[in-house]
Structure 1
Amino acid sequence: MKILVTGGAGFIGSAVVRLAVARGHEVVNLDALTYAACLSNVSNVAASPRYQFEHADIRDGDRLHRIFASHRPDAVIHLAAESHVDRSIDGPGAFVDTNVMGTFRLLEAAREYWTASGRPDGFRFHHVSTDEVFGSLGTEGRFTEDTPYAPRSPYAASKAGSDHLVRAWHETYGLPVVVSNCSNNYGPYQFPEKLIPVVILNAIAGKPIPVYGQGTNIRDWLYVEDHADALLLVLGKGAAGRSYNIGGESERRNIDLVLTICAVLDARRPKAVGSYADQIVFVTDRPGHDARYAINARRLHDELGWKPNVSLEDGLARTVTWYLENEPWWRALEDRKGVGQRLGVTA
């Protein structure tokens, strides 16, 4: 296929781009190159004849129409989004503008192109979303594709809005869409404001390792390359109008996750004295912090045969090693706005 990937210079998007090119697909990477994007994330495929880059913003409808007409993709994987909960607390407007209005502009461009192309059955618009649209779980149960939406942060609400738009364009206009909602991603190339890279980089810098509240919040962790594999599978074989949950089947309390990362660092780059766990500090919790997320991915397994390949223990070891071996990559990002700062406290 020729796939238009939005946000392909970001964390998850770049994993999709790298895997798609490796599997022989043609990829058009559309990215606005905002603060969390890095073209170095796709440097290993940049010279491939199957790869092209478009520096464009999904909020620019006219530009989107030209890109569709020029490249004529067979499918879209829509990943471009503002995605950091703490930043959404400080500046919700950017999340509504990009995640809701940007998705609207992209849907309209895709609909016009699909209609002008004769409404081919094989076209797919794959919208990539998050489990945070479902809200917060108690101690039992998991999110299914039928769980009612109950977003609790500006980020989650903006993604919920975009999910609803995508489904509406399918029901109203017949656009062949698929939607996926994933659990927390981690792995190489993750921008250093998210939990796992913050823990790794603060640890080796000798800084305090911040843990919100008492670290009892629980997340289901999904290795980013497993996620990319699932996204391409849903794109190619998912039924139009269907949604699929994608999870790593690896629930952990935040404090236990942090302690595991510290143990990996103790083994890979031991301190002269003590453990990296000695640097852990508990800080004021995030406003409206969801207690627990957990994904039931049975539909994806039963209908398409997918399951995660990388265990959390193996994935964390790979991730720690990658950050230790790729210091030039994250050093280049340290001066970007918000990196190394506590965000999301204005509420």
Structure 2
Amino acid sequence: MKLSLLDQVQIGTGRDSASAIADTIALSRHLDKLGFTRHWIVEHHAVPYEACVDPMVLACALAAATTNIRIGVGGVLLNNYSPYKVAESAQTLAALYPGRFDLGLGQSVSGPLPDLALQPDRSRPLLHDQGDKIHELLGHLFADLPADHAFARLKVMPDVAPVLPWVMAVSPASAARAGVLGLPLALSAFHKPELAVASAASYRSSFQASRRKGLPQSPQLFLAIRLSTGVDQNQAERLAMPMRWCFDQRRRLDTMPDRLPSVEEAVTLAGGVWPAETAEWPMYTICSLRDLRDRLHTMAHAVDCDEIMLQDVLPDPDMRLAHYTAIAQALAN
């Protein structure tokens, strides 16, 4: 099974933004040596304990520090940007690191204030059509906008092989969009994991092979999950607490913690260690290293893929290095 990482570039206990970025570069080198397939950076705004506000810039640093692993943005929030500008940044990375850059296309909100601050025109309501923006972006990347398009004469490095664009999806409807466009699918099992199997089926049934060179001729997808694992179930549940407590504060109480707590702090703040969910498709996959292989293979089989992208919210950089070393070893044995 292929392993990848979706990275929030968390600012660990006693760290700052600069050290968090340095930690992520060191982690990328480590993942490269472990044989991970991809290292993607999220785009989040106004999160005090994360340093991933400009993943395109950080992707350049990661690619420069590594050799084989694919570097990606997962994903660029098209609702905030001009597709033309995104294409320019993406093609610059494609020219610098041929065949190693992935462009994940997402649609998410960062909150009323950062969403407004990201817009060039704050005098009008925010209007956005994700489908239209993806179509325009693809036209720029592959230099095939219709002749009557307003931007048809604009060319974005047409002599550079286009980056590989991925549609990030949560629901069957958004997964079907990827299929109709003939694009690979980054299937998120974060927010609504119970939809993962239906979304994968929707993508496959709607898939239409594209005539654009470099795009897959058959469905291509990976599954993204939040994972915590340890030597036994108790340790896995304990290590999951910073992640679970932070997301609980954000989603249930609409409160943004001002820093990432240590494992012990998270346990104290939460009033103890929360047991792992028992659902077949949990929001947080929490299991021992002994059970990890079977757990991941079962999930991958259910959506018919051979790659899983993992996300953690561990507060210590050394802990993260050890976490992914243990995962790679567990899957290799």
Same fold (TM over 0.5): no
TM range (shorter): 0.3 to 0.5
